[in-house]
Amino acid sequence: MINQSDNVVKLNSINRRMFIIGAAKIIILGGIVSRLFFLQVKENKKYLTLSDKNRIREWKLPPIRGDFQDYFGNTIAGNYEAYQLHIVPEEVEDFRYTINRVKDILELSDKQFQKILKKKKEKKPWETLIVADNLSWKNFSKINNHLYDLNGVKPIISISRNYPFKENYTHVLGYVSQANENDIISNKVIKDKFVQGLKVGKTGLEKSFETSLIGDNSIERYEVNAYGRRINQLAFQTGEKGKTIKLTIDTEIQKLANELLIDKAGSICVMDIFTGQIIAMHSSPSFDPNSFVFGISQDEWQLIRNDPMKPLVNKTLQGNYSPGSTIKPIVALSALENGIINTNFTVNCRGHENPLELYGQTYHCWKKEGHGFMNLRNAMKQSCDTYFYEVARKLGVDKLSETAKKFGLGKEVFGNLFSIEKKGLIPNTQWKKNALGQSWLLGETIITGIGQGYIQTTPIQLCLMTAQIGNGGFKIYPKLVIDNENKDEPVDKFIPLYKNSKNIKIIQDAMYASTNEPRGTSYRSRIDDLKYQFAGKTGTAQVKKITELDRELDLKTFEIPYEERDHALYVAFGPYKNPKYALSILVEHGGNGSTTAAPMAQKLFKLIIDRDSLRKSNEKNFLEI
Amino acid sequence: MYQHTRLNSNRFSFFQKFKNLDYLLLFCILLLGFISLTTMYSTDGGQILFHTKSHFIKLVTFTVMMLMISLINIRFWFLVGYLFYLSIIALLLWTYFFGIKSSGSQRWMDLYFINLQPSELMKICIIICLAKYFHRMKIENVNSVYTILTSLIIILLPMGLVIVQPDLGTALLIAISGLAVLWFAGINHKYFIYTILGFLISLPFIISFLKPYQKLRVLTFLNPDRDPLGAGYQIIQSKIAVGSGGIFGKGFLKGTQSYLEFLPEKHTDFIFTLFSEEFGFIGSTFLLIIYAIIIYRIVSIGAGSRSYFAKLFCYSFAAAIFVYITINMSMVLGLLPIVGSPLPIMSYGGSSMLATMIGFGVVLSAKVHNQQSIA
């Protein structure tokens, strides 16, 4: 009986407890169902996205880069089909055998072969290994003939940069090469579009217009597994080619500039004096940018880098040179504008026997015998230094620098377009105090008057200066790129830079005399045909100070060591009756402006004027568009 | 009385015994078996490979075994209760000395045709053993110090042997199974409350004794994004799989998370994740309902049993199964830290299925022999 009642108590207890547990179970089960509901119904979208992110991976392909065209629509930087050889190691049965076969067929050197093996080690077996990125057609067809024997080897035709005019455009366009870490960090667009093997602009306009040129990646979308292996392709999205950029340059003139400067170091630029369009801009020596596209070989690179003529320097924009006598039109103009002199102002140049003396320093004219009595026109024509010493002394450096700056000297011509462009230097008393902490000396004013001393200009600045004298003294903005949108032209375009337009005429006339009248410094380079006739000013910039000994020896240019020879300069505009174009020529260590630089202008003007009508008709063409 | 019932039971014909089986429970178990088989087929990527074949063979073998057990008188289990317990303890000791080592723990014994994991069997065995222990206990003795100490030793001995393997997850499940029996046997509430309080207070100390990988699991549970590619990987991927399943699921054999091998342990502990991804909220709820029916049937069989032993066993077994399911699901749904705990029947693994099937067999036997009063 006791047992019986005991059992009842026990049963009551167990059933009561079962009830508690049962209730707990229902609550917990409800909790699990609500968790399932939360994950699968409420948060479904989030997890679906995460799942797709897991499973879908996108592969970006290199975008197709936009072209560069010259003024007439010729492609000057385009794309061509490069023949490449890819291997996916995983898909090859016997990698050793295959790669050795490839080595034999392509006749790879051991060094190249080791490089490929090293690259292979750094990659996952299902990643594409690029064995050769630019095969010749001969090798490419050889590979194709042996494909039966080369399982898993893929001959691929890929798009690559090509510069058909080779060294002609190197300093304008720059070149492209493999994007490196620096490019990726400094440009967000490159970072976004980066893929293995992406080529980006390293210098020049290729760099400046990177974001427009680069284009959009094509995208392959694959389903992948947890180990990143592609399972199947889901989609292919074709990217858009980068923008085509049209330049103002005329390839024919650019080519002539290149020919004229061959084997010389120097720069030629030609500008339309009204629109500011650059017709030609060349720096010599140049190099073939195509060698950089697939990475330049060490030997070739050393050759370019160590060339004493410095092919890597864009002399047109980066070269700071003393302008020499090419500054004289500005000195004269400044003096006229400021009323310091008039056209009748005369100075007696008495040769080396009687140089100008100031505080114990002597200032010689270049002409040993002296020019005699010189007025402005004659002084410009014969480039009399003594005359300009006197004018500069009376003018003062501050007024001179004001005029020079107005005409575009002392600041970047292209603004921010080229990161490498130099500003040059137009000194004044304030500058010297700030930069050197010394006060300005009168002697420095005197040599500034003939473009020596602190003053430094780039060839493109001299070209702009000449263009603005040639067009009658109006401000222009040089440009290299034609943008059809014609977006915000600077408001001060075509504002007059003079106080009295007569003064500009005087300078133009003096430059005319310098080229087209006997005893003018560039008389021998003149063209009498009115259609081509141009007006210019020679310049000879001293590289080192002329000593008394030098003066006595009076050596010919070819007798002086190369590095000590003077730079030859020439600036000009034409045709004189109806000016349209201006140019500047600089030949490093070329000796003498009138003998080295000016004859080049003769050839250039001939071609420029001949092509002028073509250019004008082409201009109409795109106005109609 | 003892005599009478024994005679009575012997008079049951084989046919009658079959008639007495709980067919709803049996149907649910078979349905669960079928679901687990299709899920296993999916983990093999839609092919009949090793896991599917092996799972099928085990399922058939153990189902037959379960039916055979259901025909054996429930008294048999009562009689062999202590012996069963001691032999599993012996197997655990054997495992401790001669077991197979795999991925850092020594849990298995090599029986040539199967690698047996005795700790899984202990999960069911401890219930039988404790049910027997409390069966004849007078109610006033239940809360005596002696009883409590003895039952604690019964629980702690196998627990200790499992912890040293080391396998904290299974040890905890064994403890929970044992505690379930103690609870139903009528041990005072306050002891449970004190134990839980004591456990919470000593938690910091326990954590300091945990192995580094176990600490990592706890930390990862608290913040899975701490190390998404390392320790947190499993739980994040599991949640993604479940969550991306949505209401209707991605469809059979279309679970991208598992097919593309993002899911870890998809055959065993994380099998529910794969199921949930392919069949969605509807499918998961359906699976939960099947489990709920199974548990409900086990409880009602217990309620309908005359003997205290059968009642105690059924209630405790139901509670234990429920805890296994809850822990496994909470783990894959990111509600609990990752502890190795399989989902009964669904997960791949012979020993776990063997233990569960023995349990179901005993439950069915309790139903068949529900008039048996044992003693």
CA A316 to chain centre: 10
Residue among B247, B260, B326 minimizing CB distance to A40: B247
Nearest CA to A105 out of A85, A119, A91, A121 is that of A85
d(CA A273, CA B123): 98
d(CA A412, CA A409): 8
Q: What is the pLDDT, as a whole number, of residue B11?
A: 54
d(CA A454, CA B255): 77
Which position has the token pair 């490839």?
A102
AA identity, residue A554:
D
Whether pLDDT at B1 is above 50 = no
User: Does residue B224 belong to the interface with chain A, where contact is any CB pair within 8 Å?
Assistant: no
Residue among A15, A18, A40 minimizing CB distance to B246: A40
B-interface mutation test, from A19, A51, A234, most B Cβ less than 10 A away: A51
Model confidence pLDDT, tens digit, residues A528-563: 999 999 999 999 998 877 777 777 777 777 778 888
Which among A104-113, B69-78, B225-234 has the top mean pLDDT? B69-78
CA A585, A590, A592, A595 torsion: positive or negative?
A: negative
Confidence band, pLDDT 50/70/90 cuts, at residue B213: confident
Q: Tokens representing B350?
A: 């012979």
CA B229, B235, B238, B243 torsion: positive or negative?
A: negative
Q: For residue A595, what is the DSSP state? A: I
- Beta-carbon contacts of A567 under 8 Å, excluding residues fewer than 6 positions away, are A321, A322, A324, A540, A541, A543, A586, A587, A588, A589, A590
CA B63, B69, B70, B74 torsion: positive or negative?
A: negative
Q: Tokens representing A305?
A: 């880098």
Q: What ipTM did this prediction achieve?
A: 0.90
d(CA B287, CA B281): 10
Q: What is the pLDDT, as a whole number, of residue A2?
A: 46
**φ, ψ (nearest 5 deg) of residue A235:** -160, 160
DSSP letter string over B52-63? HHHHHHHHHHHH
Residue among B247, B333, B335 minimizing CB distance to A41: B247
Say yes or no for a CB contact (<8 Å) between A36 and B242: yes
Chain A residues whose CB is inside 8 A of the B246 CB are 40-41, 44, 48
Chain B residues whose CB is inside 8 A of the A9 CB are 139
Say yes or no for a CB contact (<8 Å) between A32 and B138: no
Q: For residue A156, what is the DSSP state? A: E
Nearest CA to A217 out of A61, A78, A79, A81 is that of A61
The chain B residue lying nearest A226, using CA atoms, is B262
The chain B residue lying nearest A9, using CA atoms, is B139
Q: For residue A228, what is the DSSP state? A: -
Q: Which residues of chain A have pLDDT under 50?
A: 1-2, 624-625
CB distance B365 to B71 below 8 Å: yes
Residue among B184, B261, B315 minimizing CB distance to A225: B261
CB distance A256 to A139 below 8 Å: no
Q: What is the pLDDT, as a whole number, of residue A235?
A: 82
Residues within 8 A of A (CB atoms), B 158-187 only: 183-186
Strand order in the sheet with A230-237: A56-61, A218-224, A230-237
- Mapped onto helix, strand or coil, the DSSP state of residue A369 is coil
Chain A residues whose CB is inside 8 A of the B305 CB are none
Nearest CA to A108 out of A126, A77, A132 is that of A132
Which position has the token pair 């936009």?
A66
Cα–Cα distances (Å) from B202 to B205, B207, B218, B221, in that order, read: 5, 9, 16, 20
User: Does residue A47 belong to the interface with chain B, where contact is any CB pair within 8 Å?
Assistant: yes
Say yes or no for a CB contact (<8 Å) between A225 and B260: yes
User: Does residue B241 belong to the interface with chain A, where contact is any CB pair within 8 Å?
Assistant: yes
The chain A residue lying nearest B308, using CA atoms, is A11
Q: Tokens representing A172?
A: 């304008």
d(CA B312, CA B305): 10
User: Does residue A27 belong to the interface with chain B, where contact is any CB pair within 8 Å?
Assistant: no
Confidence band, pLDDT 50/70/90 cuts, at residue B57: very high
d(CA A74, CA A52): 46
Distance in Å from the first CA to the final CA of chain A: 115
d(CA A323, CA A597): 13
d(CA B216, CA A546): 82
Cα–Cα distances (Å) from A480 to A2, A112, A255, A483, B277, in that order, read: 114, 41, 16, 10, 61
Q: Are strands A266-272 and A230-237 parallel, antiparallel or unpaired?
A: unpaired
**φ, ψ (nearest 5 deg) of residue A14:** -65, -35
B-interface mutation test, from A7, A15, A36, A38, most B Cβ less than 10 A away: A36
Chain B residues whose CB is inside 8 A of the A10 CB are 139, 186, 308
Q: What is the pLDDT, as a whole number, of residue B167?
A: 83
DSSP letter string over A337-361? HTTS--TT--EEE-TTTS-EEETTE
DSSP letter string over B351-372? HHHHHHHHHHHHHHHHHHTTT-
**φ, ψ (nearest 5 deg) of residue B101:** -95, 135
Chain A residues whose CB is inside 8 A of the B288 CB are 29, 32-33, 36
Model confidence pLDDT, tens digit, residues B15-38: 888 888 889 999 999 999 999 999
Which position has the token pair 């008495």?
A350
Residue among B184, B261, B262 minimizing CB distance to A17: B184
User: Does residue A50 belong to the interface with chain B, where contact is any CB pair within 8 Å?
Assistant: yes
CA angle A183, A187, A192 (to 5 degrees): 100
Please report which helix (H) or strand (E) contains residue A621, including its range.
helix A612-624
Residues within 8 A of B (CB atoms), A 522-541 only: none
The region, left, alpha or beta by phi > 0 then psi within -120 to 50, assigned to residue A479 is beta
CB distance B50 to B44 below 8 Å: yes
Nearest CA to A315 out of A514, A213, A170, A454 is that of A170
Q: Tokens representing A540?
A: 């000879």
Say yes or no for a CB contact (<8 Å) between B311 and A11: yes
- What number does CATH give the domain A59-247? 3.90.1310.10
Whether pLDDT at B355 is above 70 = yes
Q: Are strands A56-61 and A218-224 parallel, antiparallel or unpaired?
A: antiparallel
DSSP letter string over A528-541? -STTT--EEEEEEE
Buried b (16+ CB within 10 A) or exposed e, A571-594: bbbbbbeebbbbbbbbbbbbbbbb
The chain B residue lying nearest A38, using CA atoms, is B243
Other C-beta atoms lying within 10 Å of the C-beta of residue B113? 7
Say yes or no for a CB contact (<8 Å) between A22 and B299: yes
Residue among A15, A48, A224 minimizing CB distance to B260: A224
User: Does residue A34 belong to the interface with chain B, where contact is any CB pair within 8 Å?
Assistant: no
Q: What is the pLDDT, as a whole number, of residue A7?
A: 76
d(CA A98, CA A361): 80
Say yes or no for a CB contact (<8 Å) between B184 and A18: yes
Q: CA neighbours within 13 Å on the CB side: how many for A51?
A: 30
Count chain A–chain B contacts defined by CB atoms under 8 A.
121
Which position has the token pair 């991976």?
A57
CA distance, residue A126 to nearest chain B CA (Å): 16
Model confidence pLDDT, tens digit, residues B155-194: 999 999 998 888 888 898 999 999 999 999 988 888 889 8
Buried b (16+ CB within 10 A) or exposed e, B299-332: bbbbeebbbbbbbbbbbbbbbbbbbbbbbbbbbb
Domain covering A251-300+319-624: architecture: 3-Layer(aba) Sandwich (3.40)
CB distance B241 to B263 below 8 Å: yes
Mean pLDDT of chain B: 87
Ordered alpha helix ranges (H), chain B: 2-10, 14-20, 23-43, 50-71, 74-98, 118-135, 139-142, 145-163, 168-185, 189-209, 212-222, 233-245, 256-259, 271-304, 308-332, 350-368
Q: What is the pLDDT, as a whole number, of residue B227?
A: 62
Cα–Cα distances (Å) from A228 to A59, A92, A282, B164, in that order, read: 12, 19, 50, 38
Q: Tokens representing A89?
A: 């190691």
Beta bridge mates, A571: A537, A584
pTM for the complete prediction?
A: 0.66
The region, left, alpha or beta by phi > 0 then psi within -120 to 50, assigned to residue A602 is alpha
